């Protein structure tokens, strides 16, 4: 049987890794797929670089639309990234009856509903395993391996840059800005790190995971997002003293009132496996009603780890090229006409526990005022630390861990606490999840 001809859009880090893996493991891949898979046509802005990554025998062009319009190409691999022209290219490929493999989490999170509807209409597949957590097969695990479960919740460290920064802050007591600079020098963070450190990248991925887990349409605009730029070395140290570690966590949870979908810094008990995922590594913890908790760990980025997921999708698509389109695995795990309209809850409606750090006058009665405000709103204190004023500072530092409470109540409490004359500046608030 003739090899499947693939059109590659983008020959950067992941595109080059994909070419390398396909060439390096060609025999093994053909054995798994039932036929060979070869890159026949590639679009690149750097023709010489494309040749260096093993595409010297492929046709090359600088116009990506030439690839998606080529009649010989059966599968288009989109590795350009971003929203445009990626969206236009993917939709053109689908319209031409070609299957699509992509690693573009932003594209799927924002435009996936439209793309999957177009693919359903044309009877083609859109595979996107590489869009979430790099080489970790988390999408296949949720969509297929856990298909017998009602997913209750999932929580993930799904951005390696943020995890590297928080790990360095914990292990070496360094400040955020200092570690971010090193992350940029090492190539872990972009020159503009906003998507990573503000949680936007993780929110793209969480949007996809929540849709797969709960059978809801993709709704990126409803994901609550909070970054790690305000986390201090003191917060990291105090959390450790209390038995917790701070991670930039994506959480999706099904509740009786709706679905939580949120990305924010989170205290996690240090004994949890996911709390010990360090550096640039990723991990996703999934709770199913039948299987219980399962943890998926591995490299969340990089050329060959991400290429591993791209090639796995190519193998899946190749296996089903002749299959009845109505019997394929649905894009979002549930049959298209079975997606539910579960309400995605605003952040004010969610319930979680909290870490609070504040500076207050070191005199009798101050703590009583704070605990009275919390008590009036039925917020109980689970743990407490008070640090003596540092030299030259007349304020004591108070650290509190609270029980689970609705965020709206906590917002009211913080407004009242910050209005006290004895309390200086804003109260630092970090959410806490036990993940039990």
CATH number of the domain where residue 425 is located: 3.30.70.260
Answer whether residue 230 shows pLDDT above 80: yes
On whether residue 326 sits in a domain, the answer given is: no
* Pick from 6-10, 135-139, 186-190, 272-276: least confident: 186-190
**Do 195 and 291 fall into the same domain?**
yes
Shared domain for 236 and 286, answered yes or no, is: yes
Q: Which residues in 231-346 belong to E strands, given as ranges?
A: 244-254, 259-269, 281-288, 292-299
What's the pLDDT band for 327 if we cut at 50, 70, 90? low
Q: Report whether pLDDT(182) > 90.
A: yes
Kindly state whether residues 26 and 69 are assigned to the same domain: yes
Work out the average pLDDT over 360-370.
91
420 has a pLDDT exceeding 80: yes
Domain match, 142 and 290 both: yes
Q: What is the pLDDT of residue 54?
A: 83
Read off the pLDDT band of 390 (50, 70, 90). Answer: confident
Residue 322 falls within a domain, yes or no?
no
Tell whether pTM > 0.75.
yes
The structural domain count of the chain equals 3
Same domain flag for 183 and 249: yes
pLDDT of residue 336: 84
Q: Does the annotation count 205 as an active-site position?
A: yes
Look up tokens 């809850």; give the residue.
Answer: 345
Q: Is residue 315 part of a domain?
A: no
Of 96, 127, 158, which one is at a domain's C-terminal end? 127
To the nearest whole number, what is the mean pLDDT of the chain? 94
**Would you say 431 and 267 are in contact if contact means Cβ atoms under 8 Å apart?**
yes
Pair 113, 148 in one domain? no
pLDDT score of 394: 77
Residue 87 in any domain: the answer is: yes
Catalytic residue among 205, 222, 247, 387: 205
Residue 180 and residue 76 in one domain? no
Q: Cα 189 to the chain's mean position, in Å?
A: 15
Rounded CA-CA distance 103/139 in Å is 12
* 61 lies in the same domain as 193: no
Q: Starting at the edge strand that comes first in sequence, how are the strands of the sheet with 75-78 ordered?
A: 59-61, 37-43, 4-9, 75-78, 99-102, 126-127
> Could you tell me whether strands 395-402 and 405-406 are parallel, antiparallel, or unpaired per DSSP bridges?
unpaired
| 122 and 149 both lie in a single domain | no
Tell me what pLDDT residue 338 has: 82
- Under the banding of pLDDT at 50, 70 and 90, the label for residue 199 is very high
Going by pLDDT thresholds of 50, 70 and 90, the confidence category of residue 322 is low
Q: Among 88-92, 134-138, 157-161, 363-367, whose mean pLDDT is lowest?
A: 363-367
Domain enclosing residue 57, as ranges: 4-127
Instruction: Please say which residue of 79, 103, 127 terminates a domain.
Output: 127
Mean pLDDT in residue range 215-242: 97
> Domain boundary residue among 100, 127, 154?
127
pLDDT greater at residue 162 or residue 301:
162
DSSP, res 436? -
Identify whether residues 248 and 283 lie together within a single domain: yes
Q: Would 91 be classed as within a structural domain?
A: yes
Same domain membership, residue 250 and residue 185: yes
- Amino acid 335: pLDDT: 76
Q: Within a domain: residue 46?
A: yes
How far apart, in whole angstroms, are the C-alpha atoms of residue 204 and residue 132?
Answer: 9
- Cα pseudo-dihedral 314, 316, 318, 321, rounded to 10: -130
Tell me what pLDDT residue 427 has: 96
> In which band, very low, low, confident or very high, does the pLDDT at 178 lie, cut at 50, 70 and 90?
very high
With cut-offs at 50, 70 and 90, classify the pLDDT of residue 321.
Answer: confident
pLDDT of residue 324: 66
Same domain, 143 and 290: yes
* pLDDT tens sequence across 201-214: 999 999 999 999 99
pLDDT surpasses 70 at 392: no
Q: Are 382 and 402 in contact (CB under 8 A)?
A: yes
Is 280 within a domain?
yes
- The CATH number assigned to the domain holding 284 equals 3.30.360.10
Q: Decide if 401 is inside a domain.
A: yes
Check which CATH number belongs to the domain holding 39 and give it: 3.40.50.720
Residue 353 confidence (pLDDT): 98
């Amino acid at each position: 049987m003739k090899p499947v001809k693939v059109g590659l859009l983008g020959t950067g880090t992941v595109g080059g890794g994909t070419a390398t893996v396909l060439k390096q493991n060609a025999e093994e891949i053909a054995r798994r797929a039932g036929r060979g898979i070869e890159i026949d046509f590639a679009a690149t802005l750097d023709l010489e670089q494309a040749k260096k990554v093993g595409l010297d025998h492929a046709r090359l062009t600088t116009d990506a639309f030439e690839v998606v319009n080529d009649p010989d190409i059966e599968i288009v691999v989109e590795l350009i990234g971003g929203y445009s022209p990626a969206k236009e290219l993917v939709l053109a490929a689908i319209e031409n009856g070609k299957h699509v493999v992509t690693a573009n989490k932003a594209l799927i999170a924002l435009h996936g509903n439209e793309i999957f509807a177009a693919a359903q209409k044309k009877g083609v597949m859109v595979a996107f395993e590489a869009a979430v957590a790099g080489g970790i097969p988390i999408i296949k695990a949720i969509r297929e391996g856990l298909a017998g479960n009602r997913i209750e919740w999932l929580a993930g460290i799904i951005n390696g840059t943020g995890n590297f920064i928080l790990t360095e802050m914990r292990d070496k007591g360094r400040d955020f800005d200092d570690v971010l600079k090193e992350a940029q020098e090492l190539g872990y963070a972009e020159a503009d790190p906003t998507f990573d450190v503000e949680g936007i990248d993780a929110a793209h991925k969480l949007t996809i995971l929540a849709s797969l887990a709960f059978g809801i349409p993709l709704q990126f605009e409803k994901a609550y997002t909070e970054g790690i730029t305000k986390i201090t070395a003191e917060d990291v140290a105090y959390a450790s003293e209390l038995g917790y570690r701070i991670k930039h966590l994506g959480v999706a949870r099904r509740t009786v009132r709706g679905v939580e979908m949120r990305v924010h810094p989170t205290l996690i008990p240090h004994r949890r496996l996911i709390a010990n995922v360090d550096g640039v590594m990723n991990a996703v913890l999934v709770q199913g009603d039948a299987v219980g908790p399962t943890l998926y760990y591995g490299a969340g980025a990089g050329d060959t780890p991400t290429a591993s997921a791209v090639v796995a999708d190519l193998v899946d698509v190749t296996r089903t090229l002749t299959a009845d389109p109505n019997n394929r695995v649905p894009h979002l795990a549930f049959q298209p006409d079975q997606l539910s309209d579960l309400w995605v809850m605003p952040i004010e409606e969610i319930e979680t526990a909290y870490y609070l750090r504040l500076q207050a006058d070191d005199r009798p009665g101050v703590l009583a005022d704070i605990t009275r405000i919390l008590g009036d709103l039925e917020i109980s204190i689970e743990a407490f630390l008070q640090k003596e004023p540092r030299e030259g500072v007349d304020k004591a530092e108070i650290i509190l861990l609270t029980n689970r409470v609705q965020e709206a109540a906590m917002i009211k409490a913080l407004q009242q606490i910050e209005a006290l004359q004895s309390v200086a500046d804003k109260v630092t608030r970090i959410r806490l999840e036990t993940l039990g």
